[in-house]
Structure 1
Amino acid sequence: MQIKGLNEEFGDLTTLISVPDRGPFGDSRYRGNYAGSVLGKLIFHLQKIGIKEPYVYDPMEGGKTSRDVCGYMNLPYVGADIHAGFDVVNDDFHDTGFDLTMLHYPYWNMIDYASDLPKHMQQLDMSRMSWKQFIAAVSHVNIKAAAHSRYVAVLVGDMVVKGKGYIRSIQREMAWIGVPVRHFTKLQHNAMSFRKSYRGSFIPVVTEHLLLFKTDYRPGGQLWILGSGQYHRIDADAYVTWKTAVKHVAKDLHHITPASVLNGIRTKFPVKLQKTQTPDATVRRTLQELEAEGFLNRAVRGVYELAS
């Protein structure tokens, strides 16, 4: 999909980003490197809203795409990386007052970025963390970036858990900071997965997420965040009303009576019985309500049948 903008090289932003050719920026041999025109599009957007020379920061520059783009556009830039001895989670950021911080996180549990580093640095590689540690680290870095920058861009993908059939989604679980300007869908054109053939029902991931946040950055200011998601178990039956439960049970009964319905509730919706001290009275009342609504007809006293 080609979208022409005011600038033919980088183009305007839309909520769908497609960059078939990664371009000349950054080291193409560095796995997980992103196309420079993604940053170029963000920079042109900031220039259109009045930030003529955006001050850009990339604390995980990897293959140095961000450095090359800002050099090409003659923009002030600071970059760092674990390969330069920088611990993005625990070390101080190099400056404050950035106009844009670009965050392109490691591909968790997929690419080993630190295998060529000394042991003490390998332990700092975010891609080696457990999932919960990784999400906590991502959220921490997002917040730290927002405390140093007017805008923060986060580029992340979804990871398929090997052999499980489901994904881990960074953007869903990480902390959202400030105000989300846009959530962009970025098409992947050169992923390693495209070089493989898959059997069965496997669904390849062919998109990434780019989120642009406007922060409340100002010296001495405060920052609003949307905290990361938390896993907790729920009882699905607790979200099913008595009417729905009784309807479901009644459909399978030849003789619909308070006793037979209550027995069905005990089998299919046991959580409902934990929420009332008078289950017999609750069932009788629900049957009467369903009769009044026309779902049931009373055959004889205490016996109901489904309305036709």
Structure 2
Amino acid sequence: MNRNEIIARLMENDSTVLSFPDRGPWGDPKYRGNCSGWYQAFLIWKYKVKKFAELFAGSGTGFDVAKDMKIGYVGADLNPTPVRPGILCVNAVTDEVPIQFTDADFLFMHPPYGAEIRIPYAGSMYPDPSGELSKCDLGQMPWETFMKALNGIVMKYFASLQSGARMGILMGDVRRNGLHSMLTDIVKPGGLEQVLIKMQHNTCSGGRSYSSKNFVPIVHEYILILKKIAPYILDFQIPLKKKLDIRDSRSATWRDVVFAVLKKLGRASSLSNIYREVEGYAKAYSNPHWKDKVRQVLQMYPDFVSESRGIWSLAA
């Protein structure tokens, strides 16, 4: 496709919400999980890319786009027989970053979305007779294992970039066994320059109807744009998941704690039962007069109702 024709189409979509219903003449539409080449083209055009590096190069879409945009290209994929001559066979989990990647001014990756989305690559899109490739196929890893492996890959490849280069990560949400969001779970190195919204088209789930009234179909993905600011320093943000009992929380008020206790007990309860739920936790340790505090809270707030002497419940 002619570069000028490509740019004319891109200029019609120059915003933070990108929508390209057709995939363009690039890559293989039968390769599951790949995206329209218009998005790689947009990034190349918008960021004036001279050499485009692509991890998880898959069906060769990025190679084809870079060729039409008349810029340099290098790709890498787990596939032992890459589909384009510019794609290297690389295990992103275990292998070092190929030297050919280090002078790219833009590194793009559209990783698999973990086992929850049920799109395996090794042994499905390409042969894996020994089963060894499947062990490092992100598309076959459960979510937490997948995100840990992906975050390691992101940091490794970001560290290899030259100062001033950018990384673009195309990612989405998966709603299976709960909602899993790559945007919230992924590491974010360097400077966060932009979050683009990529509208989804022609998806397998697009024609389904859902009976649940509170079910909101997912029709978008994200493109995270990160810039390497300095040659030595790697600033990064990484999600930290913690679990804290409200009875051990310093920020929770006594009202919060007592409300949670009565909600958990689920019925009118005696003071002794309420005390038993709080005793031994940090909230009680921090106040030698914590039983007095519990009684004070019960009497102060309209959330709590005295059913009889020493018996309390939540207000209806």
Please state how far the C-alpha of 1:245 moved relative to its aligned partner.
5.4
1:167 to 145, 165, 179: 179
Matching residue of 2:139:
127
| Cα distance in 2, alignment partners of residues 124 and 135 from structure 1 | 13
Q: Does 1:88 align with 2:92?
A: yes
| Cα distance in 2, alignment partners of residues 157 and 176 from structure 1 | 15
Q: Does 1:8 align with 2:14?
A: no
Matching residue of 1:302:
none
| Cα distance in 2, alignment partners of residues 26 and 176 from structure 1 | 28
| Cα distance in 2, alignment partners of residues 122 and 279 from structure 1 | 56
User: What TM-score, normalized by structure 1, do the two folds share?
Assistant: 0.76
Assess, with a 3 A threshold, how the Cα gap between structure 1 residues 65 and 245 changes in structure 2: closer, same or farther.
Answer: same
Please state how far the C-alpha of 1:75 moved relative to its aligned partner.
0.3
Q: Which structure 1 residue ranges, 5 or more long, are not aligned?
A: 1-5, 48-52, 251-259, 296-308
Matching residue of 1:223:
234
Please state how far the C-alpha of 1:280 moved relative to its aligned partner.
3.7
Please state how far the C-alpha of 1:72 moved relative to its aligned partner.
0.3
Please state how far the C-alpha of 1:284 moved relative to its aligned partner.
6.8
Within a 5 Å distance, the mapping from 1:177-216 to structure 2 comes to 177-201=189-213, 202-216=215-229
CA contact (8 A) 2:190 2:234 kept: yes
Assess, with a 3 A threshold, how the Cα gap between structure 1 residues 279 and 114 changes in structure 2: closer, same or farther.
Answer: same
1:266 to 262, 275, 278: 275
CA contact (8 A) 1:146 1:217 kept: no
Assess, with a 3 A threshold, how the Cα gap between structure 1 residues 265 and 275 changes in structure 2: closer, same or farther.
Answer: farther
2:171 is aligned with what amino acid?
V
| Cα distance in 2, alignment partners of residues 100 and 248 from structure 1 | 50
Matching residue of 1:106:
112
Please state how far the C-alpha of 1:55 moved relative to its aligned partner.
1.1
How far does the alpha carbon of each residue in 1:243-300 deviate from its partner, in whole angstroms, 9 at most, with x for none? 55579999xxxxxxxxx99558537766543542222443577689x69xxx9xxxxx
What secondary structure sits across from 2:242 in the alignment? coil
1:20 is aligned with what amino acid?
P
Assess, with a 3 A threshold, how the Cα gap between structure 1 residues 17 and 269 changes in structure 2: closer, same or farther.
Answer: farther
Matching residue of 2:40:
39
CA contact (8 A) 1:13 1:42 kept: no
CA contact (8 A) 1:148 1:217 kept: no
What secondary structure sits across from 2:180 in the alignment? strand
Please state how far the C-alpha of 1:233 moved relative to its aligned partner.
1.5
- Greater mean alpha carbon deviation, residues 181-190 or residues 83-92: 83-92
CA contact (8 A) 2:52 2:72 kept: yes
Q: Identity across aligned pairs (percent)? A: 28
User: What TM-score, normalized by structure 2, do the two folds share?
Assistant: 0.74
Assess, with a 3 A threshold, how the Cα gap between structure 1 residues 269 and 38 changes in structure 2: closer, same or farther.
Answer: farther
| Cα distance in 2, alignment partners of residues 23 and 264 from structure 1 | 67
CA contact (8 A) 2:172 2:220 kept: yes
What secondary structure sits across from 2:108 in the alignment? strand
Matching residue of 1:136:
148
Matching residue of 1:145:
157
How far does the alpha carbon of each residue in 1:56-107 deviate from its partner, in whole angstroms, 9 at most, with x for none? 1012111111111100011011012111342012212222121000010013
| Cα distance in 1, alignment partners of residues 230 and 183 from structure 2 | 21
What secondary structure sits across from 1:9 in the alignment? helix
Q: Which structure 2 residue ranges, 5 or more long, are not aligned?
A: 1-5, 83-88, 263-268, 304-316
| Cα distance in 1, alignment partners of residues 159 and 62 from structure 2 | 20
What secondary structure sits across from 1:195 in the alignment? coil
In the comparison of the two structures, how many residue pairs are matched? Answer: 268
What secondary structure sits across from 2:50 in the alignment? coil
